[in-house]
Structure 1
Amino acid sequence: MKDLLGKAILDFQTNNSPQNIVTETDISEAEEMDIAYLFRTYDKMPLLEQKALDLCKGNILDVGCGAGSHSLHLLKKGFDVQSIDISQNAIEACRIRGINQAEVCDVLDLKNQKFDTILLLMNGTGIFGRLKHITKYLQHLKSLLHPGGQILMDSSDLIYMFDEDEDGGKWIPMDNKDYYGELVFTIQYKGETEIPFNWLYLDYNTLQNAAIANGFKTELLAEGNNCDYLAKLYL
């Protein structure tokens, strides 16, 4: 990976002529995103994210922390937060922002640690990549939880993006896919194009069924206006 999203984050943090990033998926057109959005404060966050942050407890693992805005808010509230991301540039930006426990790490490589809250926001199910990887991730996340711990995770049901056929059903092209929420993302930044990567959006029922199959209880905490939701997984 070229780490273009991380480069955009670090450019913004260091005022190195940051530009908007362009994202595109295999089911949607290219669109620009202002990188400043990743540096938003609590009062500018969507309500689902605010609720997740309000429900955090104990020591916290922020998975895929990006620019670190969620971690920073929790640190200011006095929590012990460990922030991880696979992007070296993003982690460098986090450290500049004062997030000292930020490290470059794939969550699957995190071992021998336990947390009271594991946070996966901004479509936290995305890191699963494909539907077939859910069990691997959920079992590993379970191994990182203290007794009584919780996973707070958001995602969206993308069924609304597909056209209806004549009988009211949805027409969903499934070439090389196991599930309609499996997307292939591409990011462009400053004339460079990132290597395409898999990113998974999950409807709540599918997440719930997978969680139960892996020994979790689930709770639908809140729903947004765009088929998005916040869920809690716990043991």
Structure 2
Amino acid sequence: MKDLFGKAILDYQQGNYTEDIITETSISEEDVLPLPYLFRGYDEMPALEKKALDMARGTVLDVGCGAGSHSLYLQEEKKLKVTSVDISEGAVKTCKLRGLKDARVADVMLMENEKFDTILLLMNGAGMCGKLKNISGFLRQLKALLNPGGQILVDSSDIIYMFDEDEDGGRWIPTDNEYYGEVEFKISYKGEEEKPFDWLYIDYNTLQNAAHAGNMNCELVLEGEHYDYLAKLEPESI
């Protein structure tokens, strides 16, 4: 990986902002991801993210922290102990430059011997598991990182709306993937292209089923304005 995402974030942090990130998926055309958006404050965040930050408590693990905006709010405004992890070296370097006390280059799937009260997966954070077949193992790992009484706060989107609707109200969904929410993601920045990677948009019912299969409760906390939602997952009481 070239870490173009991290390179772009670090460029912005260091005053070298001249271009935005270009994203594209297997079911959508090129789109612009403005770098300033990744550095937004609480007041500029969508309602789902605000709600998640309001609900965060105790020790927090921010998975896929990016530029660290969520972590920074929790550390500075709510005075919580936050561990911010991302596989992007550029992102983590940016987080440290912004003042985050515990930012690490790490894969959450390899973390062990640590426990948290709140695990955050924001900006379609569940997507990092790539394929629906991976969601069980993903949730099992997150569950193992929770303290008793801990919670996982995750947002995602049901992208069924992106597929054509027929006269009967059904959807024309390609059979290339096992699940319609699986997409291939591409990122380009300053003329360079990242190797495509798998990303998952999971609808709430499917997430709920996966959670229950893993002995976790799943609650729909808030629905967004465009097929997106925030969910809270907690281990079932024994």
| 2:184 counterpart of 1:167 | no
Match of 1:51 in 2: 51
Equivalent position amino acid for 1:81 in 2: V
Contact 1:21 1:187 in 2 (8 A): yes
* Alignment RMSD (CA, Å): 0.7
| Residue 17 of structure 1, CA deviation | 3.5
Deviations 1:60-84 (A, max 9, x none): 0000000000000000120000000
Could you say which residue in structure 2 is the equivalent of 1:68? Answer: 68
TM-score between the two structures when normalised by the length of structure 1: 0.98
Q: Deviations over 1:12-48 (max 9, x none)?
A: 0001244111100000000112111000000000000
Alignment of 1:1-235 (within 5 A): 1-76=1-76, 77-175=78-176, 177-235=177-235
Using the alignment, how far apart are the partners of 1:17 and 1:122 within structure 2? Answer: 22
Helix, strand or coil: the match of 1:9? Answer: helix
Residue 168 (structure 1) shift: 2.1
* Cα separation, 1, equivalents of 2:58 and 2:175: 42
Unaligned runs of 5+ in 2: none
When normalised by structure 2's length, the TM-score is 0.97
Residue 179 to residue 19, structure 1, CA distance change in 2 (3 Å): same
Number of residue pairs aligned between Structure 1 and Structure 2: 234
| Alpha carbons 1:8, 1:18 under 8 Å: kept | no
2:85 is paired with a residue whose SS is: strand
Question: Secondary structure at the residue paired with 1:135?
Answer: helix
Question: Partners in 2 of 1:18 and 1:149 — Cα distance?
Answer: 41
State the one-letter code of the partner of 2:195: I
Distance in structure 1 (CA, Å) of the matches to 2:32 and 2:144: 37
Distance in 2 between residues matched to 1:137 and 1:218, nearest whole Å: 15
Q: Is the 8 A contact 1:211 1:233 kept in 2?
A: yes
Structure 1 position 167, deviation (Å): 2.5
How far apart, in 2, do the equivalents of 1:18 and 1:123 lie? 26
Cα shift readout 1:173-232 (whole Å, capped 9, x = no counterpart):
121x11000010000100000100001000000000000000100110000110000000
1:49-107 C-alpha deviation (Å, 9 max, x unpaired): 00000000100000000000000000012000000000000000000000120000000
Q: Cα gap change, 1:127/1:19 in structure 2, threshold over 3 Å: closer, same or farther?
A: same
Partner SS for 2:179: coil
How far apart, in 2, do the equivalents of 1:53 and 1:47 lie? 10
After TM superposition, the runs of 4+ consecutive aligned structure 1 residues lying more than 6 A away are none
Using the aligned pairs only, state the percent identity: 62
Q: Is the 8 A contact 1:121 1:154 kept in 2?
A: yes
